[in-house]
Amino acid sequence: MQEDHRLIQDRIRKVEALRADGVEPYPYRYDVTHRCAEVREQFGGVGSDPAEEAVAIAGRIMLHRPMGKTLFITIQDETDRMQLYFRRDHLGDDPFALAKKLAIGDLVGARGRPFTTKTGELTVYVDEFALLCAAIRPLPEKYHGLQEKELRYRQRYVDLIMNPEVRNTFVKRAAIIASIRATLESHGFLEVETPTLQPIYGGANARPFETHHNTLDMNLYLRVSNELYLKRLLIGGFERVYEFVKDFRNEGMDRTHNPEFTQVEFYMAHGDYNDGMRLVEELVENAAIAACGSTKVTYQDIVLDFSAPWERLTMLDAIKRHADLDVMAMSPDELRAYCDAHEIEYAKDAPKGLLINFIFEHTCEDKLVQPTFITDFPIETTPLCKPLRDGPDGFVERFEPYAYGWELGNAYSELNDPVLQRTLLEEQAERGRGGDEEAHPMDEDFVRAIEYGMPPAAGVGLGVDRLVMLLTDSYSVRDVILFPMLRPEAHSAPQPEEE
């Protein structure tokens, strides 16, 4: 730390010296005509004689190599790197002296003519240049090889400077989101916005973050889902709506969980969960092609094939296949005994449906490697879903997409029976009064809304972060979130990734 302080003080003195020499180290703007990748594309075939056309580029100095009366500087912008060539007899004594004072990390702009060096490197022969920002904190010399992930997450700005592959991950993330948006809009969906602060949270079994609004003297919650608001829009007459949202769940952190995460939720009137499955297949296929150029994607050395159709497997059939268990033939006590024997956690008063769900999560999820839809869940898992039309009593038309053993989303044939909806929400509220922190609270306004009539509909929520992980071969959710949640820096300790 003392060495860092000394280097910073040295650079501050350099800034003061530049000002004393009449050089402004922090100018207001610079006219850029090309980015580095554009120079490479346009002038890639130029010879050793500089081109007639001049370019003006700007970027951060990554290499600085003085060689007597010449100087080579490599700069990096958002798109690529480019070498700059400075000659003393071409620029003049004072500009060349300034160029030699530049340091790694400084931002510069340069105007000149591209040419190819004897070593075959495309280079800009500098006619004039300007210091755009004098960096006072030096870049870490060996940052690229740093193994301490937390430092890279905490100082993401340095991580992005030093590791182009990290920038590429977030470029792909943007392409994935753009692809999802384009696919939905091609099917007539309208993008909308719903509240982040909500007086009653709902739409998912999750523990919320709570805050207080002073003026209204009321408690509010960061949304755990936007589902109930999007359904209100179906009631109001919008037939196909979607929203990219930040959801917040006051729960644990591990390899696939961050308290703040991104979802896309969409609702289509007059459809059911079968329509939702077909649209999910199309969304993910298109996103994979946008990010990777193919529906076959390698994640952690496993090839995942996202091409449609994905396998469809009921929860009961999945348990039979992977646990060799007929849970419907078992009593609640037998299910509890199985959970005890296999160290599966459950609430003591959990009904049979939740016990079945716990057993599925424990015995099946990690075996769902190739893209798969798990369908037909116990009714106790959600109060917002239509009962199963063709199957055992006590189950609902719900599906979750899986890949690499991870749940990627959640979807229903949406419940629109207001009487049954009230009953199910009251049961959830009773579970909440009994101590279940993840139970849905009663939302009287939502029940009032569907009493006006909501069309049959399919509703789907997809986790964007996990999908980006799979399509960019990123080990942790923190690798695909620019600024993930971390402990306060003063009290931070290494945070191991959990499976």
What is the chain's length? 499
CA 296/CA 167 separation, integer angstroms: 22
Region 50-70: what's the mean pLDDT?
97
For residue 399, with 0-12 CB atoms within 10 Å meaning exposed, 13-18 middle and 19 or more buried, which class applies? buried
Binned at pLDDT 50, 70 and 90, residue 305 comes out as very high
* Nearest-angstrom CA–CA distance, 153 and 136: 21
Give per-residue burial for 239-272: e unless 16+ CB within 10 Å, then b: bbbbbbbebbbeeebebbbbeebbbbbbbbbebb
How are beta strands 190-191 and 240-248 bridged, if at all?
parallel
C-alpha span between 156 and 484 (Å, rounded): 9
Helices (H) and strands (E) in the chain, counts: 15, 19
Contact 192, 303 (CB under 8 A): no
Question: For residue 147, how many other CB atoms are within 10 A of its CB?
Answer: 6
Q: Given a cut of 70, is residue 438 above it in pLDDT?
A: no
Tell whether domain 161-310+370-491 is in CATH 3.30.930.10.
yes
The interaxial angle of helices 332-341 and 352-363, nearest 10 deg, is 30
Average pLDDT of the segment spanning 363-367:
98
User: With 80 as the cut, is the pLDDT of residue 224 above it?
Assistant: yes
Q: Looking at the predicted structure, is the pLDDT value of residue 494 above 80?
A: no
Domain 2-139: CATH class, spelled out: mainly beta
Pick from 273-282, 406-415, 422-431, 478-487: least confident: 422-431
Query: Would you say residue 489 has pLDDT above 90?
Result: no
Residue 493 pLDDT > 70, yes or no? no
Q: 196 pairs with which residues across the strands? A: none
**CA distance readout (Å), 381 to 221, 357, 475:** 22, 8, 29
Segment 43-66 shows an average pLDDT of 96
Whole-model pTM: value is 0.92
Sketch the domain layout of the chain as residue ranges.
Answer: 2-139, 161-310+370-491
191 CA to centre of own chain: 19
pLDDT at 143: 47
Distance, CA of 200 to CA of 104 (rounded, Å)? 52
CB 396 within 8 A of CB 376: yes
Contact call for residues 211 and 222 (beta carbons, < 8 A): yes
What percentage of the chain reaches a pLDDT higher than 70? 95
Q: In this structure, how many other beta carbons lie within 10 angstroms of the beta carbon of residue 174?
A: 12
Question: Taking residues 371-398, what's their average pLDDT?
Answer: 95
pLDDT confidence of residue 495: 55
When pLDDT is averaged across residues 327-350 and rounded to a whole number, the result is: 95
- pLDDT reading at 212 higher than 90: yes
Is pLDDT at 492 greater than 60 in this prediction? no
C-alpha distances out from residue 267 to 51, 187, 397, Å:
55, 12, 15
Mean pLDDT score, 183-212: 94
The per-residue pLDDT for 145 is 45
